[in-house]
Structure 1
């Protein structure tokens, strides 16, 4: 059974390093960033979003555990945002480690996260998914998430 547990201080450095690497890679792969400065840019963005690490107000970081005291199978991070007087959750990152994928951990983590979001009195959960990540899109759709917009980019060659 999958459990969400508050991220431990000892796990946070691993989370941060993995997130910096993954976010840089995804942005390069999607064509949004150049490889040359992607890691520095990624580290800067994540540091800006989590300036106090685990203690950053209105940010909730969890480990996805295989059991209540089991192995860490991944992580999920959301923040509370407010728009036009409505408070909602925005998932910044979810990751399940390769050896734990296709075992239902992500789905179970999302369902448990929804309960935590409801408990905070928030009205919705949003997230961004890279266009090329069809597996994630399928999971989110099966959980009831629906697209609200599509950002498109055209790369221009130097002439």
Structure 2
């Protein structure tokens, strides 16, 4: 069985992650048709800065590095212990990612389980997340891990 533990990101890891997550989030928003390409990365950076005004020291935000049994990085995760829309007793998983060379080896499931453990230890009994429709591998992972659809947005190009 694949094992992953989590620790707080270092400042250097955080700086790299901020660049990477802004680019990835902007790309997802553009692909979903929610944002135009022009200015999308800056918009993503601005949104993240609002959510993490104190960076790594933002209260009730967990910015984590997933590591394997030997201590080598396998991924990262970002969890808010308070739900962004105020749902009581529900944390929110803003981001979870396995590094490209480590994918396909069970690290996603193991990192998700480690994140759930940290949230549970923080006293929050539920975890919610958003996943874009075309991300079929993530949808399958969350489904197999017991997550249920609570809302669903749909669109048709006319």
TM-score (norm 2): 0.91
- Report the Cα offset of residue 155 of structure 1: 5.7
Alignment correspondent of 1:44: 46
Partner Cα separation in structure 1 for residue 14 and residue 5 of structure 2: 17
Is 1:81 aligned to residue 82 of structure 2? yes
Partner Cα separation in structure 1 for residue 4 and residue 105 of structure 2: 10
Please say which structure displays the higher CA radius of gyration: 1
- Report the Cα offset of residue 66 of structure 1: 2.2
Q: Which runs of 4 or more aligned residues in structure 1 lie more than 3 Å from their structure 2 counterparts after TM superposition?
A: 153-156
- Report the Cα offset of residue 33 of structure 1: 0.7
Q: How does 1:10-21 map to 2 (within 5 A)?
A: 10-21=12-23
- Report the Cα offset of residue 152 of structure 1: 2.7
Alignment correspondent of 1:92: 94
Alignment correspondent of 1:64: 66
Higher percent of residues as strand:
1
1:109-137 alpha-carbon deviations (Å, 9 max, x no partner) = 11111111111111200000001101100
Is 1:152 aligned to residue 133 of structure 2? no
Alignment correspondent of 1:122: 124
Gaps of 5+ in 1: none
CA RMSD of aligned residues (A): 1.6
How many residues in Structure 1 have an aligned counterpart in Structure 2?
Answer: 154
Q: How does 1:99-118 map to 2 (within 5 A)?
A: 99-118=101-120
Is 1:29 aligned to residue 36 of structure 2? no
Gaps of 5+ in 2: none
- Report the Cα offset of residue 61 of structure 1: 1.0
Partner Cα separation in structure 1 for residue 156 and residue 36 of structure 2: 14
TM-score (norm 1): 0.90
- Report the Cα offset of residue 4 of structure 1: 1.2
